[in-house]
Structure 1
Amino acid sequence: MNRLGAFYDRFILPHPWLILSLFSVLLALTALRFDQFRLDASAESLVLENDRSLEQYRQVNRTFTTSDDFLVVTYTPHDPLFTAEGLERLRQLRDELQSLESVSSTNSILNVPLLHSPDLTLETVDTEIRTLDEHNVAPEISRQALLDSPMYPNLLISEDGQTTAIQVNLPTPARYFDLLNQRDELRTQADQGEATEDEFNTINAEFIRYSAQLGQERDATIEAVRAILDRYRDHASIHLGGVPMIVADMIRFIESDLSTFGLGVLAFLLLTLALIFRQWRWVLVPLLCCGFTVWIMIGVLGWAQWPVTVISSNFISLLLIMTLSLTIHLIVRYREFQHDEPDAAPRTTLRNTLLTMIRPCFYMAITTIVAFGSLTFSGIRPVIDFGWMMTLGLSVAFLITFLIFPALLSLLPPPIDRRVSSDSVPFTDAFARFTERFRATVLISAAALAILCIIGLNRLTVENSFIDYFKASTEIHQGMITIDDRLGGTTPLDVVITDLPAPDTQLQDPFASDCDPFLDDCDDYRDTWYTYQKMRQLGAVHDYLHSLPETGKVLSIQTTLALLAQVNGGKPLDALELAFVPAAVPDNLKSILLTPYISEEHDKARFSIRILETLPDLRRQELLDKIRHHLSTELGYDPDRIQLSGMTVMYNNMLQSLFDSQIKTIGVVFAAILAMFLLLFRSLKLALVGMAPNLIAAGSVLGLMGWLGIPLDMMTITVAAITVGIAVDDTIHYIHRFQTEFQKDGDYIATMHRCHRSIGKAMFYTSLTIIAGFSILVLSNFIPTIYFGLFTGFAMFMALLGALTLLPRLIIMVRPFSTL
């Protein structure tokens, strides 16, 4: 401590202007890359580290020439759709959307083939196909043709014919995938020592720049689409949906929350600090410290080209919490020294404050870093990054608090506040009296709360829907409901069946054996999928997937066969007709009817499914397990031949990994914190006592979520680490102060009352300021942000309650300190 005092006496306190000048240079350097600070909600930000699901998803898209890179415009006209005027207005809208530079094509009821002609047969399909765009088809005939088709209802048109959809295709350029593959290859080579880090960093920087450029172009396109749609809303109810829009709106809401609510939080913090301390210095200095911490971290993330994702978007709010907590503890201690030694020089008071508080604050920072460090063991890159961001951010917050705070206060020494008194703090005094008087009540209440927490924890789930992220008043929420209810579902899921070749492939002529491949299941013949037996098997898969309550529209080769059967006079295709399906389908329709569902080159069949996001009981993991189990046990497919892919799978993998790495391993986190307490307090009894309020606080937040039925998702699941970090703060500060105060008279009860009047004030002010500041987040349109604000406030309250009741009660009962 003498060395630390000498450090402050020699370098910090005598030279505040020099410290602030050097710090200003650092601020200027970090500000140079503010423009590189970015948000990322791409597919990579929602998958596991090295998860093969993303590559499988891309491989499926390449194999079947499909993509989820499209917007869905739902169009419900106020007047009848199938009139000359109604179709013409829809055509105008479609043409405006298609004219956008980034739009490659559109699909709608205007350009899809209508199978209504009485002259249409399998032989004349190439010449008799009609479309609304190219032929003069009566509106009512076209309506019936669309509704009678097995493909279009509940996809491009609602079953009542009143709502239609325009699919606006936004293809990702090939350059993106080229850079992505180069980056992944160089990463692998760098790990194996076959490439240098500089080579990898160069291509990674280029990939990041190009991804950011594509993101900006995609956002501009979506805004242009919205502007076009606004011009047609007088005549129709229009909603916009699709995976790109979900991504764009998530980023838009987060950016809005970071700016709008960031300023709102700061305003609330300013107001609360002003009401508590009533001196402008005690408002300005902590806000400057908080602002400097966020400033530096944003600059560092920009320099490192380290993207902020949906998961880590709350790191700014958390840094505000932690930095504010540190500064409030210093402020309260400074004011106590002013009250106890009113004649002391301001520098002496400041020096005593720093030397007294640096140890507990250092302990708090280190232990909180351990709590957030647990996130680095996750398998998800954005969660790992969040852990490292908070680790670095907490280090920055600690350094700013104990370097910049004293420099600012040296230049702005606050006058003595005569209202400061260690004898009258009604709120904390009430807790001290309650803890002293109702000893059994505190312990019984804690035990009952622990039981409720355990029950609530068992109710936790990791299932939720994207629609739950947005308020009912938002366009994206309304669009998802419309798409789910009328147009077949929102989130894509692909089921791919691989027809593996038989071991003996020497038989090339299917008619050289007694087995007829068009009538029987000939194991030795795998040259074509278009046999009666295989199509019957695929039909069983299609029927099963369609029967599931979680699925909306299901498309497969069976949809095409049903459509061709309709062309064939309503008769199912026989074995010979099945064999000639690839030849019978016109080349310009193969990309619609065949290649999305059958790849003979890769020997795969695909089922395209849309999951109903609005289903209240949606359980992704149960659904995926159920599909795999049925296909393998009931339909006899080898599990190795079954592949589930798509956004549904990737998002589910992320949620399940979060659950495994954060909830199931939370015991490991607490074990690490217990080890830290043992190191800090050098007492097993005291370490165990200190763990109790942390367990109660974390369990209370997670238990409350379980009781309320709020599922864990990619944002709320980190609340465990957040709560532990907050609770650890109060615990360490209280125990450290208790140790100091106990040495005065060795009286546990008197020490408790003194602690409640001193460090208890700082804990109360910190909690009150943060709860008030973050209450403004409930006004957000992004539900995870609302939950973050509510659960942060609740975590602060539970941590304060545990530290002011359970913690002193256990200390008094266990008596871990030696008497004088």
Structure 2
Amino acid sequence: MNRLRALYDRLIFPHPLLVLAVFGVLLALAALRFHEFRLDASAESLVLENDRSLEQYRQINRRFTTSDDFLVVTYTPGGELFSEDGLARLASLRDELQALDAVGSTNSILSVPLLHSPDLTLDTVDSEIKTLDQHDVPPDTARQALLNNPLYPNLLISEDGRTTAIQVNLPTPDRYFELLRARNDLRDKASAGNASEAELAELERVQQAFIDYTETLGVERDATIRTVRDILDKYRNHAEIHLGGVPMIVADMIRFIENDLSTFGLGVLAFLLLTLAIIFRQWRWVLVPMLCCGFTVWLMIGFLGWTQWPVTVISSNFVSLLLIMTLSLTIHLIVRYREFQHDEPQASPRETLRNTVMAMIKPCFYMAITTIVAFGSLTFSGIRPVIDFGWMMTLGLTVAFLITFLIFPALLTLLPPPLDSHVSANRVPFTDAFARFTERFGNTVLVGSAVIAALCVVGLTRLSVENSFIDYFKPSTEIHQGMITIDNRLGGTTPLDVVITDDPPPEGAGGDPFASDCDPFVQDCGTGEEYRDTWYTYQKMQELEAVHKYLDGLPETGKVLSINTTLKLLAKINEGEPLNALELAFVPAAVPDDLQDVLLTPYISEEHDQARFSVRILETMPDLKRDALLDRIRNHLTTELGYDQDQIMLAGMTVMYNNMLQSLFDSQIKTIGVVFVAIMLMFLILFRSLKLALIGIAPNLIAAGSVLGLMGWLDIPLDMMTITVAAITVGIAVDDTIHYIHRFKTEFRKDGDYIATMHRCHRSIGQAMFFTSLTIISGFSILVLSNFIPTIYFGLFTGFAMFMALVGALTLLPRLIVLVKPFGSEGASGLGS
């Protein structure tokens, strides 16, 4: 400590302007890369670390010529849809959307084949196809043709014929996938340790090129979506219109993140400024903490820009957290400074500042380290954005501590605050009341804590991770409204792909398939490569039909599309008769070339011996349980329909999102377990006492448990943001514990009286704890204004946890200290009951 004092006396206190000038250079360097700071709400930012489901999802899209890169415009006219005026207005809207540069194509009831002609047969399908765009089809006839077609109802048109959809395709350029594959290949080599120096350098180049290209695409897509919305606004007077689709959801999530970063960053700053002004009533105690908070965020944003490290949905609150954590450190310094002013009014400002820094650097260092440990535990979660959030906060807290103990004293050396009357007036009777309550009702505190702990345990057993994506957004948002419309009228929201791989041929297969009694058009004879490679046999189509019927019959599924949908359509063309074995064999040849990408290739990949079922999951189902649904599908296909496990692949956004959700339980156990083990070790090192370590951990256990327990009791599931609350709670709540125990140890030396020491601590460090908790709770409360429900929960539960942590630190903690007497025995009696 003497060396540290000498360091401050030589460098900081005599040269505050030099310290601020050097720091100003750092701020300028950080500002150079502000424009590189970016946000990421892509699929990669919401999946597990090394989750192969993302690559499977992309692979399936490539094999079956499908993509989720499209917008869905739901259109419900005020009048009749199938009228001359109704269809003309729909065509006008479609044409405006189609004319946009980024739009590759559109699908709508205007352009799809109606297949309604009385002369239509399998032989004439190529010449008899009609569309509303190209042929003079009466509206009523078109309506009937669309509703009788197994492909379109609940997809492009609702079953009542009132609502239709325009699919606006936004193709991702090939360049994106080229860079993605190159980056992934080089990453795999680097991870395996097989990359040469040249390949590592190439990896750096390709990664930067991929980031730049993705950013450019994102900007272009945002502009396209804004233009689409402008176009839709012109038609809203005549129709109820909603916009949906994965690109829109991604764009809106990024917009929510940007709003949260700016609005809530500034909002939290305003709350903190107001709180400081009310508490301390002196402009220096508002300006200096605000500068420290602002500098911390400034440096971190610059650092993230320099390193090209994107902020995701989960880490979007890092600005608010850094503001609050930095302020917490500065408030402890302010309160201690004012105590020294009050106790030693004749001391010079520099002496008071020196005493403050020397008295607080040790507990604040312990506080910063334990909070860093808490956030660092998030790196064990296995979820990429949660891991990134843990590292960001670890670095941010390090910056916050350094700024607090370098810039705070430098600024106060230049702006020494005068002694004012508010120092004594700021005594908060609230903390004194807690001391009196703890003294009088010590046993009640213990019993009450035990009851809360028991309720927490019960609540923990009720926790779940099942969460509907629609519940992430307020009912007033377009995402929420669009999902309801698509779910209720157009066949479901979230995509799920069920892929069946054909059986390999038996060993020694070959020869003439007609040389046996097996009919190759009816049965899977397994002889001859040319017959094995075709799916268009009677037996295989029957097997696929059984899968289709099962998937379609599930209450959680909306629209299900597969090759069986195409066969039903062809059966209607074939005078209502199912196709026989011979007709099945010639289906690929019978379907016109311009319909192959609509009717065949999305469902059958002959090259890879795979069949695909495109399923839409109903996100608005109240009791949707994704994990149970996916397990049920797998079990039915293997036990009832006889497929092997390795023949079945489930892919798509539903699977990736479910993988992330199911990892939350694991992740929560790991992170909380690591936090408490690490903090116990830290307490043992700091306090060198097992008793004190156990005493210190108790209120933190209750604070963290109360959050998770309350979520369980309220049936609020864990999600990608609330998973972090418990670890954050422990990290912040442990600050109070460290400061209180450190101050108790110091005060106890004065008279060796536990009760008197408790009252003095409540009047001193208790004030700082109260002010800190008040500012944190106030700061987080503004998050309830977000449009993103997880952000709202994050703010509410963190505020609640801080309240519980404060109450625990002012009641349970002192009660345990007085009961166990970890600092040695003394003559004072124990607490009353």
What TM-score does the superposition give when structure 1 sets the normalisation length?
A: 0.99
Cα contact 1:335–1:417 (8 A) shared by 2? no
Whether 2:531 is the aligned partner of 1:530: answer no
Distance 1:470 1:501, change over 3 A: same
User: Matches of 2:22 and 2:671 in 1, distance apart?
Assistant: 43
User: Matches of 1:189 and 1:474 in 2, distance apart?
Assistant: 44
Amino acid aligned to 1:123: D
SS at match of 2:118: coil
**1:755 is matched with which residue?**
761
**2:43 is matched with which residue?**
43
Cα contact 2:341–2:352 (8 A) shared by 1? yes
Cα contact 2:361–2:405 (8 A) shared by 1? yes
Pairwise CA distance, 1:261: 2.2
SS at match of 2:18: helix
Structure 2: segments with no counterpart, 5+ residues: 827-833
Pairwise CA distance, 1:102: 0.6
Amino acid aligned to 1:484: D
Amino acid aligned to 2:569: L
Q: After TM superposition, what 4+ stretches of structure 1 lie above 4 angstroms from structure 2?
A: none
User: Matches of 1:665 and 1:292 in 2, distance apart?
Assistant: 29
Cα distance per residue 1:180-219 (max 9 Å; x no partner):
1111122222231423343322211111111111111111
1:98-177 mapped onto 2 (5 Å cutoff): 98-177=98-177
1:228-307 mapped onto 2 (5 Å cutoff): 228-307=231-310
Amino acid aligned to 1:768: L
Whether 2:195 is the aligned partner of 1:194: answer yes
Cα distance per residue 1:641-667 (max 9 Å; x no partner):
000000111111122223212235522
**1:798 is matched with which residue?**
804
1:521-600 mapped onto 2 (5 Å cutoff): 521-524=524-527, 526-600=532-606
User: Matches of 2:671 and 2:283 in 1, distance apart?
Assistant: 45
**1:351 is matched with which residue?**
354
SS at match of 2:612: strand
Pairwise CA distance, 1:320: 1.2
Q: 2:374 aligns with which of 365, 371, 376?
A: 371
Cα distance per residue 1:672-717 (max 9 Å; x no partner):
1111111111101110111111110110111111111111111111
Pairwise CA distance, 1:384: 1.4
Amino acid aligned to 2:421: R
Cα contact 1:463–1:618 (8 A) shared by 2? yes
User: Matches of 1:471 and 1:737 in 2, distance apart?
Assistant: 45
Distance 1:684 1:411, change over 3 A: same
Cα contact 2:281–2:422 (8 A) shared by 1? no
User: Matches of 1:449 and 1:660 in 2, distance apart?
Assistant: 24
User: Matches of 1:775 and 1:189 in 2, distance apart?
Assistant: 46
Cα contact 2:73–2:168 (8 A) shared by 1? yes
User: Matches of 2:672 and 2:264 in 1, distance apart?
Assistant: 31
Whether 2:439 is the aligned partner of 1:433: answer no
Cα distance per residue 1:549-586 (max 9 Å; x no partner):
11111000110011111111111111111111111111
**2:419 is matched with which residue?**
416
User: Matches of 1:67 and 1:268 in 2, distance apart?
Assistant: 45
Cα contact 1:336–1:422 (8 A) shared by 2? no
Cα contact 2:176–2:210 (8 A) shared by 1? yes
Cα distance per residue 1:385-409 (max 9 Å; x no partner):
1111011000000000000000111
Amino acid aligned to 2:335: V
User: Matches of 1:171 and 1:161 in 2, distance apart?
Assistant: 29
Cα contact 2:377–2:675 (8 A) shared by 1? yes
SS at match of 1:608: strand
User: Matches of 2:50 and 2:268 in 1, distance apart?
Assistant: 37
Amino acid aligned to 1:526: R
Structure 1: segments with no counterpart, 5+ residues: none
Task: State which drifts further: 46-55 or 749-758.
Answer: 46-55
User: Matches of 2:815 and 2:100 in 1, distance apart?
Assistant: 68
Pairwise CA distance, 1:123: 1.1
**2:661 is matched with which residue?**
655
User: Matches of 1:503 and 1:806 in 2, distance apart?
Assistant: 71
**2:641 is matched with which residue?**
635
1:678-717 mapped onto 2 (5 Å cutoff): 678-717=684-723
User: Matches of 1:300 and 1:202 in 2, distance apart?
Assistant: 20
Amino acid aligned to 1:301: L
**2:748 is matched with which residue?**
742
User: Matches of 1:625 and 1:44 in 2, distance apart?
Assistant: 24
Pairwise CA distance, 1:513: 1.9
Pairwise CA distance, 1:789: 1.5
Cα contact 1:376–1:388 (8 A) shared by 2? yes
User: Matches of 1:114 and 1:606 in 2, distance apart?
Assistant: 24
Q: 2:522 aligns with which of 511, 519, 541?
A: 519
User: Matches of 1:510 and 1:693 in 2, distance apart?
Assistant: 76
SS at match of 1:106: strand
**1:180 is matched with which residue?**
180
Pairwise CA distance, 1:319: 0.8
SS at match of 1:80: coil
Amino acid aligned to 2:272: L
Q: 2:789 aligns with which of 783, 786, 805?
A: 783
Pairwise CA distance, 1:733: 0.8
What TM-score does the superposition give when structure 2 sets the normalisation length?
A: 0.97
Cα distance per residue 1:404-429 (max 9 Å; x no partner):
00011111111112232399531000
User: Matches of 1:424 and 1:306 in 2, distance apart?
Assistant: 44
1:397-408 mapped onto 2 (5 Å cutoff): 397-408=400-411
Cα contact 1:422–1:758 (8 A) shared by 2? no
Q: 2:492 aligns with which of 489, 493, 516?
A: 489
Pairwise CA distance, 1:783: 1.1
Pairwise CA distance, 1:770: 1.8
**2:384 is matched with which residue?**
381
User: Matches of 1:645 and 1:603 in 2, distance apart?
Assistant: 17
SS at match of 1:103: coil
Whether 2:207 is the aligned partner of 1:207: answer no
User: Matches of 1:769 and 1:425 in 2, distance apart?
Assistant: 15
Cα contact 1:186–1:195 (8 A) shared by 2? no
SS at match of 2:532: coil
Pairwise CA distance, 1:331: 0.4
Amino acid aligned to 2:229: R
User: Matches of 1:190 and 1:151 in 2, distance apart?
Assistant: 46
Cα distance per residue 1:33-90 (max 9 Å; x no partner):
0000011001111112221111111110111010000000000000101011110110
Q: CA RMSD in A?
A: 1.3
**1:807 is matched with which residue?**
813
Pairwise CA distance, 1:508: 4.7
Q: 1:727 aligns with which of 719, 733, 748?
A: 733
User: Matches of 1:245 and 1:423 in 2, distance apart?
Assistant: 51
Cα distance per residue 1:257-316 (max 9 Å; x no partner):
211222121111111110000001111111111110000000000000000011111111
SS at match of 1:309: coil
Cα contact 1:557–1:594 (8 A) shared by 2? yes
**2:831 is matched with which residue?**
none
Whether 2:673 is the aligned partner of 1:673: answer no
User: Matches of 1:445 and 1:413 in 2, distance apart?
Assistant: 45
User: Matches of 1:728 and 1:565 in 2, distance apart?
Assistant: 69
**1:391 is matched with which residue?**
394
Work out the number of aligned pairs and report it: 820
Task: State which drifts further: 203-212 or 301-310.
Answer: 203-212
Cα contact 1:117–1:129 (8 A) shared by 2? yes
Pairwise CA distance, 1:547: 1.0
Pairwise CA distance, 1:774: 2.2
User: Matches of 2:825 and 2:423 in 1, distance apart?
Assistant: 30
**1:449 is matched with which residue?**
452
